[in-house]
Chain A
Amino acid sequence: MEELKHEDIMSALSRVYDPEINVPITDLGLVYKVDIDGNNVEIDFSLTSPGCPLADYLENEIRTAISAVSGVGRITTNLVWTPYWGPELMNEEARLSLGYSI
């Protein structure tokens, strides 16, 4: 069976949007870690602020997106707060979309 690739997981995650600002979570820099162990995938992700009410929604979306990648077995998601997210973690695409300088 084909080996799971980091880029396939990232590509799947790039289709998960923060629904409030309509920007992919990967562009926002909210995906902190993608670990692949055989068929199993572990994700560390964060939110733009601790009060963000989207935790459950995004976790669900992340799981759905990754489970669509062929060959994925167990999925573990961890909502983490270190480092604390800041706009400097956004890439150029997200910065432009939100009116930050690039």
Chain B
Amino acid sequence: MQTLIIKNLTAEVDGKQILNGINLEINTGEIHALMGPNGSGKSTLSNVLAGHPDYTVTGGSVSLNGEDLLEMSVSKRSLEGLFLAFQQPMEVPGLTIGKYLKRIIELRVPEGERMNVSGFIKDLKLNLDAVGLDHNFINRYLNDGFSGGEKKRMELIQMMMLKPSFAVLDEIDSGLDIDALKSVAVGVNKLKGDNFGALIITHYQRIMENIKPDFVHILYQGRIVKSGGRDLVDILETKGYGWVREEFNIPEEADEYQRTIAS
């Protein structure tokens, strides 16, 4: 079993503190959902985990299998098994998806071994089928001219090919129609198992119908204010985030303030 442990994590961007002490432990084999309103710090958390240079960690720790994640370079984090699906992936005209994916897999082949390219192509085609993308995507330039749904599916394809230990899916469901949403769920559920853990960041309940999380956390003003099982999703569905504010006696002004500085 592998572990990703976040302890008392605080972080700021542009001198404004967004994360106010996050505590979260994810093991492989578990699917966690992190929900929260706009400006609660969801994307900040994913950016900090991935090592985005605009975000400064001001306190706390993150360890991946006992090693200090925050000390690792971005590429090292990836090679160690952490994956982040971008909200808005970059377009790279001139680089075919086939060549790109082959390269990122090749980087993970142990020294002295050669990559099995024909097996790779077979896997890639199966994964494209699974998320409902045509095989011709192999020849297209990475994200170049892709629709929103195609970009998200492409992020999923990368995840399925890399088979990370931990995937952080930052609003992978935003802007997706029902079919695309189902494809995302197929991708996650395909990897689901003892060697895979995921943190699904979202503010929609809809994706939870297809990806059944084991744990649900509510992020509010940079803190996880409540953790529980899938029933939390239903409570949020009926009561909204206002319920969280009332339950934890958070003044509404503070909420607005947080939203302003986070946006």
Q: Which residues of A contact B (CB under 8 A)?
A: 15, 27, 92-93, 96-99, 101-102
Contact indicator B102/A97 (Cβ below 8 Å): yes
Q: In this complex, what residue of B is CB-closest to A91? A: B118
Interface centre among A15, A92, A93, A96, by most chain B C-beta atoms within 10 angstroms, is: A96
- B interface residues, how many (CB within 8 angstroms): 11
Residues of B near A98 (CB, < 8 A) are 99
Residues of B near A92 (CB, < 8 A) are 118, 121
Secondary structure dominating the interface of B: helix
Can you list 29 pairs linking A and B with CB atoms under 8 Å apart? A15-B114, A27-B117, A92-B118, A92-B121, A93-B117, A93-B118, A93-B121, A96-B96, A96-B98, A96-B99, A96-B102, A96-B117, A96-B121, A96-B138, A97-B99, A97-B102, A97-B117, A98-B99, A99-B95, A99-B96, A99-B98, A99-B99, A101-B96, A101-B138, A101-B139, A102-B98, A102-B121, A102-B138, A102-B139
Tally A-B pairs: CB < 8 A.
Answer: 29
Q: Which residues of B contact A (CB under 8 A)?
A: 95-96, 98-99, 102, 114, 117-118, 121, 138-139
Apart from A96-B102, A101-B139, list 16 A-B contacts with CB within 8 A: A92-B118, A93-B118, A96-B96, A96-B98, A96-B99, A96-B117, A96-B138, A97-B99, A98-B99, A99-B96, A99-B98, A99-B99, A101-B96, A101-B138, A102-B138, A102-B139
> B117 to nearest A CB, angstroms?
4
> B122 to nearest A CB, angstroms?
10
> B171 to nearest A CB, angstroms?
31
Give Cα A101–Cα B95 distance, bound, in whole angstroms: 11
Residues of B near A102 (CB, < 8 A) are 98, 121, 138-139
Q: In this complex, what residue of A is CB-closest to B101? A: A96
Residues of B near A15 (CB, < 8 A) are 114
Residues of B near A93 (CB, < 8 A) are 117-118, 121
> A98 to nearest B CB, angstroms?
7
Give Cα A15–Cα B158 distance, bound, in whole angstroms: 28
> B111 to nearest A CB, angstroms?
14
Give Cα A100–Cα B249 distance, bound, in whole angstroms: 60
Residues of B near A27 (CB, < 8 A) are 117
> A26 to nearest B CB, angstroms?
11
Give Cα A12–Cα B212 distance, bound, in whole angstroms: 48
> B62 to nearest A CB, angstroms?
36
Which 5 A-B pairs rank lowest in CB-CB distance, beginning with the nearest? A101-B139, A93-B117, A96-B98, A99-B99, A99-B96
